[in-house]
Structure 1
């Protein structure tokens, strides 16, 4: 199933069979997802070209029988970045080539390099194959995070709170004298000194979406 990576990032993941039909299927999936995310037309068109090249390259890699191509599309609302990843189980790392004028192919990564904000190659976590990724700047998806106020005593590690005018991730929560009316809570943050507040003091907490939107692991 597709999953939400964090409160500010949405992602879609799926697997595609190793066939030519997977390229238009990937483009159709991308178009549907980016339309839902309200991505602008210019970014959508560039993203379709990038994903087509990444999937096409992955299909050309020799891999063991039965292996599929993995696709991940993610958007970061905080950074305004759209990221596309395509994984395969084949060896080697793709490199940008400078083909001769009479060569019919070999320009895929040149296009990826020209269109993307940045791109790269990573080894897959299980040690089999690689993931080629490309990112685009997509300012349309930058939004102010939804927030809610909760008592400091209800804050939990992993949540993001607003302190000193900035958002910080809570690493640890300690309650001092929890049975007294003047109980205090100490929040250890990812940056800066610990934050000590009254247990009843309301704090702004970044609120994630309810539920997870996405597509099945096997693309339609």
Structure 2
């Protein structure tokens, strides 16, 4: 998939969090607060919380850096969530099909299931990788694709 967003940016909000496991809940809260302020439906909040949890968790696990950059971009008909880490190697994220007994390894499968599009690319400047996902929605106050 490419890194090109599917629409013109209406609003953008970026923030960074420390690359620690307790930052996952902080990223969820900050995202939910912003989506509430933008007037989006609760269904979008919940799906966005799932996606940002998975992407930030992956970044925390796989980065060698001390912080992670999160960005929400409200497009005309989709919310784009992007998470950038400072990288730790050349291999990018990929879908993994875990055994039923495994407790890890399903994050990108969940992101793939609830997103209208997702992908990954190297950061355009400096080290790191960006993983993004788009969630279709009908605009502020309207429910998006059910999850």
Q: Could you tell me how far apart the structure 1 residues matched to 2:11 and 2:125 are? A: 23
Deviation of the 1:8 alpha carbon: 5.1
Q: Could you tell me how far apart the structure 2 residues matched to 1:15 and 1:41 are? A: 24
User: Who wins on radius of gyration, i.e. which is larger?
Assistant: 1
Matches within 5 A, 1:40-55: 40-55=41-56
TM-score, normalising length: structure 1: 0.57
Matches within 5 A, 1:1-220: 9-64=10-65, 67-76=66-75, 79-90=76-87, 91=89, 92-141=91-140
Q: Could you tell me how far apart the structure 2 residues matched to 1:62 and 1:89 are? A: 6
CA-atom RMSD in angstroms? 1.6
Deviation of the 1:53 alpha carbon: 0.3
- Paired residues in the alignment total 132
TM-score, normalising length: structure 2: 0.84
Deviation of the 1:140 alpha carbon: 2.5
Gaps of 5+ in 1: 1-6, 143-220
What whole-Å deviation, never above 9, does each CA across 1:64-121 have from its counterpart, x for those lacking one? Answer: 5xx3101001101xx3110100001112200001111121110000000001111000
Helix, strand or coil: the match of 2:139? helix
Contact 1:80 1:141 in 2 (8 A): no
Which protein is richer in helix relative to its size? 2
Q: 1:112 and 1:52, CA in 2 relative to 1: closer, same or farther beyond 3 A?
A: same
Gaps of 5+ in 2: 1-7, 142-147
What whole-Å deviation, never above 9, does each CA across 1:159-212 have from its counterpart, x for those lacking one? Answer: xxxxxxxxxxxxxxxxxxxxxxxxxxxxxxxxxxxxxxxxxxxxxxxxxxxxxx
